[in-house]
Structure 1
Amino acid sequence: MNEILFFGQNQLPKLIKNEPDKIKKPIQFKFENENENENENEKQIKQISTASYSIIFLFKNGKAIEYLNENNSNQKIQIENIQKVAAGYLNIVVLTKEGNVFARGEDINPENSKEFINISSLIEDKNDRIIQDIVSGYKSLYLLTSNQNAYGIGSNEYGQLGLDPETLQKTEKPILIMKNVSKIFSGNTSDSVFLLNSNQELFGCGDNQYGQLGLGESRKEEKIQKLTKIQNIPKGKIIDIQCGGFHSIMLIENENENENPKRKLYSCGDWEYNGLGRFRYTYEFTEIKLSLFENDDIILDFSVGNDHTLILTSKAKLIGFGDNFYGQLGTEDANNQLIPIQIELPKLRFNEEIFNYHILCKNERSFLYYSPPPFPILKKI
């Protein structure tokens, strides 16, 4: 069963029917895979991703369908055995189970922006062409190879590829950014990027206009064009970092063996629309205080849009803050929330399968959807 909640800006007439442009309260709809020849398990949604002008559904069978905004049409992505999908402003990138990466978009293939090309085959080092993960920024894409090397392709307007923008504005060929990388973090409304090495050292570059790289007040440059080590990182294991247009949020897990695993969120950047749980700019990663949490509550998943954030907890609470002009916080109004607020949800399968739900916040939209293992990015604890 494909169980999905949607709220926010509605530009999907074929997918979310007979609803207003602004859906301010979570509505439930069932997505029906149109291929009736497949069994129910194969039609189960594995991942949802959204670009500025479309939404992509990836299924367990490795097939994907893209729904176009403000257009009563949809189309199958003609690539088989897809493992993961990522989407930015005008770019879409897919990772296959064989480790190949195909991408399309104006920043990737300007001569034919609707055609997918194999960008992993463009990596100069032939021994580095097996890709294990893909990440999308706003106009840039990032590849993590099986050799733990990070590559970037697309725009470098803010130095988000780790190079001087005056020297290289953009590239249609993957370039090596950093070696010995365990994870890459960005966001599809962001021109910032973070790279984590095997020693849990964090580096960042790109857009820093609002302090969203967490470099501190002494580093207020708008463009950080060289990979820079992020100092004063909170203690613990970095689980995830997600970047919005004006802020970044980090999830840290306490690894003290004498305590139950605890997860905390830290943020930096602009607070005016994003909230960040405080009323000031924050130039270093600072804890978000969540008074709505119970002592034994655990953060299972979180997602960052352009300037709003949603958090899912083990007590089946959905908590949000930030911009709410389109109703993307699901609070039944259009008021911005500068401090975290709990969102009322319709009855779902939460009580038995809370660990199988995932959040997607992108631009002015929000999704909460059911997707059983092995997809979860944040592992069950």
Structure 2
Amino acid sequence: MNEIIFFGRNKKPKLIKNEPNKIIKPIQFKFENENENENEKQIKQISTSYFATIFLFENGKAIEYSRENDSNQNPQKIQIENIQKVTVGYTNLAILTKEGNVFAKGLYMDSDDEKKFINISSLIEDKNDRIIQDIVCGDDSVYLLTSNQNVYGIGSNRFCQLGFDSKTLKKAEKPILMMKNVSKIFSSNASNSFFLLNSNQELFCCGGNNYGNLGLGESRRKETKIQKLTKIQNIPKGKIIDVQTGNFHSMMLIEDENSKRKLYSTGNYQFNGLGKTANTYEFTEIKSSLFENDDNILEFSIGNCNTLILTSNGKLIASGDNEYDQLGTGNTEDNQIFLIQIEIPKLRFNDISNYHVSSGNQNFFLYYSLSSFSNF
């Protein structure tokens, strides 16, 4: 069985038919494509952004709600089999298959047709490095982590998000090697920044830093672009579970030796989900009475100007842009600087650890899945 809860902007094409353009209170999501019986398939992952929303099922098939869909606003089947993971950026999307191939489409891809998928993993020059283990999309770029633990980037480099000077490299039409000996890669669908962990568990970043959102400290907050992968100093102790970045802020989830998880954020507080009332230029802990002693943070998701957090006590916590009342406060003129708890329908399943969150440009999903991609 599935459970998908949706709220926020019901943008064109409408994700839910016969509903208003903005959905204030979280509601149950149901697939309209009844003839395909999609609603009986088990959800594996949801990835959403301005460009599209993709639903991936456990059978390795996926459907796409795209801004280019037909006038009936029906979802389209993605004609790729054995899909392992999907990731949607602001202007592009990428798909990882179980065989380790990556197909992508959208702007900044080396294709005459932005709607056509191309196998970008096959474009890696080293033929022995074409089996891909993980993928993430940024704003206008795609990042590939190979089975040899090497990271490649493809797409736009206008904010130096590929780790090179944007004046000499405006975009990469083929994957370019960014770093070797990498264990994890991190980005976010609305981000022009990129993070990675190397094999020594050191965190590196590059790309847009307009609001100090890369956490490099006060001395570097005025650098709007970080041209090469740069090590971040003063990282809090513990195991880094996830790092995500939006246009104005970044967040990091760290697990300590007692398996307690804490959130840290950096960037600008005025428009987004920083969870604090002052700018910060290093990753500092977010403290809130909503995080009780017996409560633990399961995962979080960053959209353009929002943060969505899920806890082990079943709390859905958010802050940030509220233009479409996607936070359910009833006041669209009031951005939520402080973390607030969002009222949600009673959940069908008791195992809260199998629920996951996904933030888009102006909408949110809470969904049940036995697969987790926050720590892929």
Once the two structures are TM-superposed, the CA of residue 110 in structure 1 deviates from its matched residue by 4.4
Alignment gaps of 5+ in structure 2: none
TM-score, length basis structure 2:
0.94
Per the alignment, do residues 119 and 278 of structure 1 end up closer, same or farther by CA in structure 2, a change over 3 Å counting?
same
- AA matched with 1:247: H
Q: More displaced, 48-57 or 291-300?
A: 48-57
Q: Which residue of 2 aligns with 1:323?
A: 321
* Aligned residue number for residue 265 of structure 1: 263
The alpha carbon displacement at 1:348 in A equals 1.2
Contact kept, 8 Å, 1:208 with 1:222, in 2: the verdict is yes
How far 1:147 moved relative to its partner?
0.4
Q: 2:254 aligns with which of 252, 255, 267?
A: 252
Per-residue deviation, 1:246: 1.1
Closer, same or farther: CA 124–35 of 1 in aligned 2, 3 Å: farther
Whether contact under 8 Å (2:10, 2:21) holds in the other structure is yes
Look up the SS of the partner of 1:218 in the other structure. helix
Task: Please tell me the residue identity of whatever aligns with 1:269.
Answer: G
Partner residue, 1:201: 202
Question: SS at the partner of 1:355?
Answer: helix
Instruction: Tell me the residue number matched to 1:10.
Output: 10
My pick for the range that moved more, 354-363 or 325-334, is 325-334
Corresponding position: 1:144 with 2:145: yes
Query: Quick check: 1:300–1:378 contact (8 Å CA) kept in 2?
Result: no
2:372 to 365, 371, 375: 375
Structure 1 residue 173, shift from structure 2 partner? 0.1
Residues 249-275 of structure 1: per-residue CA shift (max 9 Å, x gap): 0000002xxxx3110000011100114
Q: Give the letter aligned to residue 62 of structure 2.
A: A
Q: How does 1:72-151 map to 2 (within 5 A)?
A: 72-151=73-152
CA shift in 2, pair 1:38/1:87, >3 Å: closer
Describe the SS at the equivalent of 1:121.
helix
- Please say if 1:238 is aligned against 2:236: no
- Relative to structure 1, the CA distance from residue 33 to residue 96 in structure 2 (aligned partners, 3 Å threshold; closer, same or farther) is farther
AA paired with 1:241?
V
Residue number in structure 2 paired with 1:346: 345
Percent same amino acid at aligned positions? 70
Aligned in 2, Cα 1:185/1:353: closer, same or farther, shift over 3 Å? Answer: same
| 1:95-132 deviation per Cα after TM superposition (whole angstroms, max 9, x unaligned) | 00000001111211341111111110110111100000
Partners of 2:373 and 2:223 in 1: CA distance = 36
1:337 aligns with 2:325: no
**Structure 1 residues 37 and 227, CA, compared in 2 at 3 Å: closer, same or farther?**
closer
Q: Which deviations, in whole Å up to 9, do the C-alpha atoms of 1:156-195 show, x marking residues without a partner? A: 0011111110110001100000001111111111101011
Give the AA of the match of 2:372: F
- Residues 1:358 and 1:37: Cα distance change in structure 2 (over 3 Å): closer
The runs of at least 4 consecutive aligned structure 1 residues that moved more than 6 Å come to none
Counterpart of 2:279 in structure 1 is: 281
Q: Is the 8 A contact 1:2 1:30 kept in 2?
A: no
Contact 1:151–1:177 (8 Å) recurs in 2: yes
2 CA distance for matches of 1:5 and 1:327? 16
- The structure 2 residue matched to 1:355, chosen from 353, 356, 360, is 353
Query: Judging changes above 3 Å, is the alpha-carbon distance between structure 1 residues 105 and 36 closer, same or farther for their aligned structure 2 residues?
Result: closer
> Which structure 1 residue ranges, 5 or more long, are not aligned?
none
**Deviations along 1:293-322, whole A, 9 cap, x unmatched?**
211101011111111111111111111111
Q: 2:22 corresponds to which residue?
A: 22
Q: CA deviation at 1:212?
A: 0.7
**Residue 223 (structure 1) aligns with:** 225
Say which SS state the counterpart of residue 366 (structure 1) adopts: strand
**Structure 1 residues 26 and 37, CA gap change in structure 2 (3 angstroms):** closer
Contact persistence 1:4–1:31 (CA under 8 A): no
Does the aligned pair in 1 maintain the 2:89–2:141 contact within 8 Å?
A: yes
Which amino acid is 1:290 matched to? S
CA distance in 2, matches of 1:314, 1:209: 34
Q: Does structure 1 retain, via aligned residues, the 8 Å contact 2:356–2:372? A: no
TM-score of the pair, normalised by structure 1: 0.93
**What's 1:48 paired with?**
46
